[in-house]
Structure 1
């Protein structure tokens, strides 16, 4: 039987596609893979964005969780019924063709899912929602972009509060009414997908966290970046710990089912 305390879950981490040095790279930022290791106690495995060539069901049969990362790129507007606009570039269609079906399959199969920043936006689009672009230009909205700096600690600094929705899964995970988060985005959820519940909001109404309603497993998204401060910020640590616990609980349940057969 799987020992939840010693088990290290295998976590699929989504990849951006970048062209550099004459090669096409499938890569994820080190902050995400380290957060899987230190925050969730898992083993990160970067999944290439190969679209239909990737057997997603076979992948999900071999991993214990899915982390959908943030990125400088944005979801292609055509995927949520919007027009292409140079302000929303760059795009990463290879990633879109992989992450959207991966998200839907992970939810369907009850594989624990944590979606961060672009990941939350992908989660909303995957379930039929839309995105709002350049939200800092919208009436009544704050500027959620990162400060102009070459120092990552300044760009990822925790700087604004979000209100946690009472009675939701984030209220249970974080055990707080309000937390402070970082903010590095120009896009956000527009029309909320029908299958999502709001878990946290910023003062200007920006949806900061969501959960998948009636999901068979842990399935949440956040607009902020908990991976960056997972070792020093308590709410960030709690979120990744909850992700790890969900993966261990699922693995233990699967082991028990197999033993009972």
Structure 2
């Protein structure tokens, strides 16, 4: 059977005065190597995309991390571009609708970093901004280094809940992960179950309650070490197996 096809919503970036619709190599490579899936990058338009037409042609949705943040207006709050940005309205419009429609159709979803935040907002939750400034919270931001390996180094633990969806793949209890975020889930959306937390209470993973298929979000970055770190690889393998099962059922 051909490899499943995974949709990856693009980020909009400007390079030499030209707009690009792009996705980071590390996510596409993890989908290929660890999940054994092919990827297609979905252009991030503020309007005009047809989510169902796109999802008719794929077997999974991988919602990646990004340097941009979900616009606060989408969860009922005001914004300060200098403090809360950068923003990417095309990415917001594309990802949130694809998430909602994929969940409705039972298409497997893996949401990472910005992706877990989009998943929460898409289902009615809110985000906490600049969490390192909140009392009792750690500094989860990217380490100050020019080395990407050091930036994505596995450096903290999360606690995975007993009986959770992720525990099926990674086991319950403590798992070591990386951390590179300024924002996190605030009010958890009604349709989400918390799967893992950091010791400071930050939500690190969620699953969709009553989902028709695999539907998981993580705040860390399993894509970066998917070839060498066992928990990271297992998460992508589980996503790939779900995509294969969906593809077989669709065929």
TM-score range, shorter chain: over 0.9
* Residue 249 of structure 1: aligned partner: 245
TM-score, normalized by length of structure 1? Answer: 0.94
Q: Are 1:40 and 2:35 matched, yes or no?
A: yes
Alignment of 1:15-164 (within 5 A): 15-85=10-80, 86-164=82-160
Gaps of 5+ in 2: none
Aligned-residue offset at 1:87: 1.4
**Cα RMSD for the two superposed structures:** 0.9
Aligned residues: 250
Cα deviations by residue, 1:91-147 (Å, 9 ceiling, x for unpaired)? 001110111111000100111000000000000000000000000000000000011
More helix by share: 1
Q: Per-residue deviation at 1:175?
A: 2.1
Query: Which string of whole-angstrom CA distances, capped at 9 and with x for unpartnered residues, describes residues 199-229 of structure 1?
Result: 1000000000000000111111000000000
Q: From the CA coordinates, give the structure whose radius of gyration is larger.
A: 1
Give the SS at the match of 2:223. Answer: helix
Question: What residue number does 1:234 align with?
Answer: 230
* Matches of 2:141 and 2:101, distance apart in 1: 31
| Runs of 5+ unmatched residues, structure 1 | 256-261
**What is the CA-CA distance between 1:52 and the residue it aligns to?**
2.6
Distance in 2, matches of 1:223 and 1:129, equals 15
Deviation >3 Å, runs of 4+:
none
SS in 1 for 2:181: coil
Equivalent of 1:175 in 157, 161, 171: 171
Query: Normalising by the residue count of structure 2, what TM-score does the alignment of the two structures yield?
Result: 0.98
- Residue in structure 2 matched with residue 208 of structure 1 by the alignment: 204
- Counterpart of 1:87 in 2: which secondary structure? helix
Which stretch shows the higher mean deviation, 143-152 or 173-182?
Answer: 173-182
Q: How many angstroms does 1:35 deviate by? A: 0.6
